[in-house]
Structure 1
Amino acid sequence: MISARELDDCMNRSWRARSEVAVDGWLVRRSSGVTQRANSVLPVSAPADLAAAITRVEELYQDEGLPPCFQISPAARPAELDQVLADRGYELRGDTEVRVAAVEDVLRRLPPARGPVDVHDAPGPDWMGLWWAVDGRGGADARAVARDILGGGPALYALRRDAAGPAAVGRVSLVGRWAGVYCMAVRADARRRGHATEVLRALLVGAADRGARHTWLQVVADNAAARALYERVGFADFSRYHYRVHPAPRTSRG
């Protein structure tokens, strides 16, 4: 169906960093510290000189005042990179499962639609406001960076309302015949009322209308409730990743 490396590429294309720099087979992504994926290295190919490549990465993040960070999946190269980084003091963070499914299968398992969901090809003010209120970190500058990241590739944005206003949102990226589910967020007082399920259905219907046949999502490994929900609607465990992060930002060079 798809390899771990191809899925890593799909995920990168779905969440583009503001700045991407190639370092001997690696992609160094920087976005002012907004979201870990957009501020981490995607280690696509093994560099000729591993130690020199790591040093260069550390310099690039140091220039931005950011902690050096690597995204480690089964496709990370070289294969020993995770251990090398651990030996250099990099800490493990964000253990995450990647689950995949056929769009048709998920739609068949989801309950019938119970009400309207607005779906657009850009995040409107209400969508952005709710997502940032639930998941955002930082002020107006960080929010502007996040909006740039969201706009880095084609996607659909779903918003469900209730009597109190925006209740739930979600995003699905469109990468060929694949669709990635992101940014699922529900207002605190509107949870456990089926809003997220309605948003997921609307997103996948929209993705299917645009040619998507398969879908993926990421779920934090220790989120048992979310894992159970996604398994129930057809998402199967396929891959996983974590981050290796230097424990403290480096000071800028003089």
Structure 2
Amino acid sequence: MNEKTDFYLAIDTVASNTWPAESSTSIDNWLLRASRGVTKRANSVLAIGEYPNDPYWLTKIEQSYQELGLPAIFHISDASPEGLDEFLQTKGYAIDTPCLMMTATSRQVSDNANRKMMQKKSSIQMEWAEAADTEWLDAFLMLEQFPEERRGFYSGLFERMPSPKGFLKLKLNDQIIALGTAIVEDEWAGFVNVVIHEGLRGQGLGYVLMHALTEWSLEHGATKQYLQVVTSNISAVTLYEKLGYQARYGYHYRIKYDLQPLVSS
């Protein structure tokens, strides 16, 4: 492996730790994640590093997800083995959700956000907690427009996230208008659940939110930070670039729905 591949492996691993699945099993280097089908990140094969030694790895992976009633999904990035993406395509796996892994130094993001923040920042209240309370979770489902049926998954996910972790609320007139979660592992901070009220986007709240998340991360020892963002989310990508983030590599999913159960002998 070369230095770039080592970096991709390290970041993919750290990022995976911030979104732990309800259950997971391993096939050598690869992690098979399952969480009732909610989010691709928590229901896919983290296919990084070398191919499994088992020559029947694809059959066994498909059987595993078929038994759970889930499609087979592979997380494909620059840390995945050469040729995997093309191989899965020949097996009927469709490409899905191209994303970017973006990184920055924490100090640069803090400085850039501080310069760009709204002048009326003082009218915004910030509240931090080590866990997602009922108010936080209620607001998260509302801001993301997720159905109530997902509450159980996200409640469990937030509990499984490793510490140190911080759950941020931005409030205006005692109403939650934005949320974010910061998780620190060694020198890296990862930000997830970054969401702003639909009617207040484009007004500079993103800078306030990112500044607060970054300052918390610096206090907890993170000198670098990363974000995973859907490539088509141009407004988010533009915001992060203005803060000093750079796209380091891309990743996407390969997904197959029509899995066939194995015929037992």
Report what 2:151 is aligned to: 143
Contact 1:43/1:72 (8 A) holds in 2 = yes
Query: Aligned residues: percent identity?
Result: 26
1:90 pairs, out of 90, 93, 99, with: 93
Contact 2:141/2:148 (8 A) holds in 1 = no
Unpaired runs of 5+ residues, structure 1, are none
Contact 1:43/1:76 (8 A) holds in 2 = yes
C-alpha deviation, 1:29, in angstroms: 0.3
Separation in structure 2 between the aligned mates of residue 250 and residue 171 of structure 1, nearest angstrom: 39
Are positions 1:46 and 2:51 aligned together? yes
Are positions 1:228 and 2:238 aligned together? yes
Are positions 1:125 and 2:128 aligned together? no
Report what 2:247 is aligned to: 237
C-alpha deviation, 1:247, in angstroms: 3.5
Report what 1:35 is aligned to: 39
Contact 1:170/1:184 (8 A) holds in 2 = yes
Could you say what secondary structure the match of 1:76 adopts? coil
Separation in structure 1 between the aligned mates of residue 263 and residue 69 of structure 2, nearest angstrom: 10
Contact 1:65/1:249 (8 A) holds in 2 = no
- TM-score, length-scaled by structure 1: 0.92
Residue by residue over 1:196-250, the C-alpha shift from the partner in whole angstroms, topping out at 9 and shown as x without a partner, is 3212111111111010110000111122221111101100111221000004466
Separation in structure 2 between the aligned mates of residue 136 and residue 32 of structure 1, nearest angstrom: 19
- TM-score, length-scaled by structure 2: 0.88
Separation in structure 2 between the aligned mates of residue 215 and residue 180 of structure 1, nearest angstrom: 6
Contact 2:63/2:261 (8 A) holds in 1 = no
Unpaired runs of 5+ residues, structure 2, are none
Contact 1:67/1:250 (8 A) holds in 2 = no
Separation in structure 2 between the aligned mates of residue 185 and residue 191 of structure 1, nearest angstrom: 9
Report what 1:162 is aligned to: 172
Q: Map 1:1-254 to 2 at 5 A.
A: 3-44=7-48, 45-50=50-55, 52-77=56-81, 79-111=82-114, 114-115=121-122, 116-135=125-144, 137-140=146-149, 142-152=150-160, 153-154=162-163, 155-163=165-173, 165-248=175-258
C-alpha deviation, 1:253, in angstroms: 8.6
Going from structure 1 to structure 2, the CA distance change for 1:204 and 1:29 (only over 3 Å counts) comes to same
Separation in structure 1 between the aligned mates of residue 263 and residue 35 of structure 2, nearest angstrom: 19
Contact 1:99/1:239 (8 A) holds in 2 = yes
Separation in structure 2 between the aligned mates of residue 150 and residue 62 of structure 1, nearest angstrom: 27
Deviates more, 1:109-118 or 1:232-241: 109-118
